[in-house]
Structure 1
Amino acid sequence: MNQNKTMKDMIADERPYEKCERFGAGSLTDIELLAVLLRTGTKGENSLELARKLLYPDTGVQNKDETHLQNWTKEELMKVQGIGRVKAIQILCLCELSKRMAQLSAGKELDFSKPDTIADYYMEDMRHRRQEHMKLLMLNTRSKLIGESEISKGTINMSLVSPRELFVEALMKNAVYIILLHNHPSGDPSPSRADILVTRRVKEAGEILGIELLDHIIIGDNCYVSLALEGYLGNA
Structure 2
Amino acid sequence: MDPILSVKHVRKIYGTNEAVSTAINSISFDVPKGEFVGIMGPSGAGKSTLLNIMSTIDEASSGDVFIEGVDITQLSEKKMAQFRKEKLGFIFQEYNLIDTLTVKENIILPLTIMKQKRQIIEAKFQRIVKAFRITEMAERYPSELSGGQKQRTAAARAFISNPAVLFADEPTGALDSNASTQLLQMLEQANEVEKTTVLMVTHDAYAASYCQRILFIKDGSIFIELYKGGKSRQVFLKSILDVLAVIGGANDDFSNGHT
TM-score by length of 2: 0.30
Kindly indicate whether structure 1 or structure 2 has the higher relative contact order, using CA contacts under 8 Å at least 6 residues apart: 2
More strand by share: 2
Larger radius of gyration: 1
More helix by share: 1
